[in-house]
Amino acid sequence: MFVIVGLGNPGPEHAAQRHNVGFMAVDVIHARHGFQPWRRRFQGQTAEGTLAGVKTLLLKPQTYMNLSGASVGEATKFYKVPPEDILVIHDEVDLAPGKIRMKAGGGSAGHNGLRSISGAIGDNYRRLRLGIGHPGVKEMVPIHVLHDFHKADRDWLVPLLDAIADNAALLAGGKDAAFASRVHEQLAPARPKTEKPKPDKALPPKPESPSEPSTAAKPPEGSLARGLKRWLGRKE
C-alpha cells in the first residue's frame, strides 16, 4: 500500500487558500487516475485506487492542519504502512511559486502539519513541497498561507497540479528524482524555434566568367601529379 497525504484545512472557506495546495494536488490525482469516490475514514477523506499497478490510498485529513498527524497515524497504523511508503504533499513558503522539491525525512521547518505528522509516525516519510512564495516578512506568513490564491496564480498553479497528476505513477514506484525531473521539464517554458535563413530565390545564379576556366571541369589532381610538381620545383 502506498499512501499519498494532501495537507490542508477542511471547509469551503479554506478551499482556495495557499495552505490547501496539498488538498488541491490530491484532488487532481484523484480525478486523473480514476480513484474510487471519497469517503470519510480515519478522521479524514480517503479514496482508494492504483498508480502504476500499486494499490494507493489518498488521504485528506479533516482534523485541521495542526492536528494532521491524528488522521495520518490512524490510517497508516491500520494498513501497517512503513514511513518510506507515505508521501505528504504540502505548501512551502521558502520556495518560489510553482517550484517543487522532493525530500525524504528531516525536520518540519516550522510547518505545523508536518510537525503533527512527525509526532505521530516519526520523521522518515517522504515529502513533496509545493512552493507558494514568501510574503517577505516572517510575521506575515500566517496571513499569507491562509489567504486565497490570486486569479493570476492560475497561470502557474493549474499547470503545476496537472504535471503532478500526470507523473504521479513515478511516486508510487518510489522514483522521486525522476518525478521531480519530469515535472520540471513539463513546466519549463518552450524554447522559441529558430528558422534557418532561406536563399533569396529572386536573385539569379551568378554566371561564370568566360575568361576563367570552370574549376568544375578540372579533373582531380592525383598523387603522381603532386609529386612531379614538388620534384620539378626543387630542380628549378
pLDDT 10s digits, 148-158: 999 999 999 99
201-228 average pLDDT score:
53
Residue 110: pLDDT band with limits 50, 70, 90: confident
φ, ψ of residue 132 in degrees (nearest 5): -120, 5
Rounded CA separation 187/75 (Å): 33
Rounded CA separation 58/168 (Å): 12
If you ran DSSP here, which 8-state letter would residue 68 be given?
H
Q: How many helices (H) and strands (E) does the chain have?
A: 8, 7
The grid cell for 57 is 490510498
Is 30 marked active-site? no
Rounded CA separation 112/115 (Å): 5
φ, ψ of residue 44 in degrees (nearest 5): -160, -175
pTM: 0.80
Residue among 19, 33, 111, 144 flagged as catalytic: 19
The grid cell for 15 is 478551499
If you ran DSSP here, which 8-state letter would residue 63 be given?
S
Give me the percent of the chain exceeding a pLDDT of 90.
78
